[in-house]
Amino acid sequence: MALTASSKEARLRVGLLLGTVIAVNAAYTVLIPFVPELPARIHAGPVAVGLAFTLFAAGKLLAQPVGGVVVDRWGPRVVAVASLGLIAVGTVATALAGDAATLLLGRVVWGIGEGVLTPALYAGITFLCSTYHLPTTRLLGQFGSAANIGFLIGPLVTGLAGGLGFRTIFLLGAGLTVSSALALGWVLPTTPRTEPPEPAQAQPAEAATSSGRRWWVLVLVFGVLDLAGNLIYSALEPVLPLYLAGGSAGARSAVSLVFAVGLAVFVLSVWVIGRLGERVTLPRLVQIGLVVFVLAVSGLALGSGLGSVLVFFAIAMIGHSALYLAARRGVLAVRTGLAGRGRAFGLFGATSDLGNMIGPTLGTTLFGWVGALVFPLLAIPCAALFLGVRMMRTPIAPTEPVEPVHRENAR
């Protein structure tokens, strides 16, 4: 990354902000390998474990609009420090939880903290770009890469340091969160900073879709596509550990390996498809992603052995990455000529995040009822979307090429 004058300070500030993104996302996935141990720890069944993920996602989803409002009023520094404090409180409650109520309360507080933190981090990125004349798109790409690196590191930390125990790891995580708050107190500004709007696209607004009144329909289509992918992946987060454990608590290393490899495959696939995917039409990319995702997720039902789960989950992440990029590529195409771009991404995000909220409880509930058949059942929404795309007689998005998108958001 090319930096102007004060490059050392800019690198330090950018590094601290991206380090916070990595730490926050790693803390989220550290919990996954401990899932087999949670029922005994909190004296509750799989549904309570699923709620721990669902309530986190709900808290984060509902808190993000509030975070945006308070960032505009108080500036990113105050909001980031306060939200990291909430995350630390939720982490401590998770560490000390000996019953389901304490764990669920901790996860709600943790989710609210992350939801408020997200707009503060994006405001911080904007501040750094403006102050040090950094390319916004490139830095946002680095932001997305940092988020995925965090997701990947989390299971590895549990696998390598799991001997420290559940409580110690999460208390250390709370300490790291407080350290991040102190760092962002220096990195971020005290007052909001309003950036000038981007230059308008040369393309007229009505050219963004075949009908100016239909932009929201197309955004909903891509939101539902992303919702289906998020629903399945978020359901697999608690279900795969339970499936691998087979009722025992000795599968921590296997769970760590499966999710570390799967997330690494996702990161690599996003990078490759993002550069090669422009050679494939959007409907074809959607269809390929759906087929791969459906077949691989269904294949998980063939056996709970480590080798089988590892292979099918890795293939599923390739399909998931294709769906992820296709959805954002579609929204970019739809919003190309819109004056109110925020409306499009707001509608898309609100629809997409519902998958993260529904998936864990749905997955664990189905797993408790039907066991391994949960995997083909979870694949049904994507199979239905594939049939719907095949039967569509009109394009699902404009055909103009768009710039590849990096995954930019923390869960």
Q: 362 and 295, same structural domain? A: yes
Share above pLDDT 90 across residues of the chain, in percent, rounded to a whole number: 23
pLDDT > 70: percent of the chain? 77
Q: What is the pLDDT of residue 240?
A: 93
Question: How many residues can be counted in the chain?
Answer: 411
User: Averaged over 22-27, what is the pLDDT?
Assistant: 85
Q: Beta-carbon neighbour count of residue 17 at 10 Å?
A: 25
Assess if residue 198 is contained within a domain: no
Cβ atoms of 298 and 376 closer than 8 Å: yes
With 60 as the cut, is the pLDDT of residue 236 above it?
yes
The residue segments making up the domain with residue 388 are 207-404
Q: Is the pLDDT of residue 400 over 50?
A: no
User: Is there a single domain that holds both residue 38 and residue 130?
Assistant: yes
| Claim to verify: residue 125 and residue 266 sit in the same structural domain | no
60 with 169, same domain: the answer is yes
CATH number at 164 reads: 1.20.1250.20
Q: From 317, 315, 345, 346, select the one nearest 330 (Cα to Cα).
A: 345
Q: For the chain, give the longest Cα–Cα distance.
A: 61
**171 falls within a domain:** yes
Structure tokens at 198: 């981007």
Q: Is the pLDDT of residue 370 over 90?
A: yes
Which pTM value belongs to this model? 0.66
The set of residues, in sequence order, having a beta carbon less than 8 Å from that of 217 and lying 6+ positions away, is: none
Identify the residue whose tokens are 């059942």: 377
Q: Please state, rounded to an integer, the average pLDDT across all residues of the chain.
A: 78
**Is the predicted pLDDT of residue 205 greater than 50, yes or no?**
no
Helix (H, G, I), strand (E, B) or coil at 6: coil
135 and 217 together in one domain = no
Please tell me which of 194-203, 207-216, 335-344 the model is most confident about, judged by mean pLDDT. Answer: 207-216
Contact (CB, 8 A) for 227 and 355? yes
At 31, the amino acid letter reads L
Between CA 24 and CA 11 the distance in angstroms is 20
Q: Is the pLDDT of residue 277 over 80?
A: no
Q: How confident is the model at residue 1 (pLDDT cuts 50, 70, 90)?
A: very low
Residue 332 pLDDT:
66
| 92/4: higher pLDDT | 92
In a domain, 321, yes or no: yes
Residue 396 falls within a domain, yes or no?
yes
Identify the band that residue 346 occupies on the pLDDT scale cut at 50, 70 and 90.
Answer: low
Identify the three-state secondary structure at position 207.
helix
Same domain, 214 and 149: no
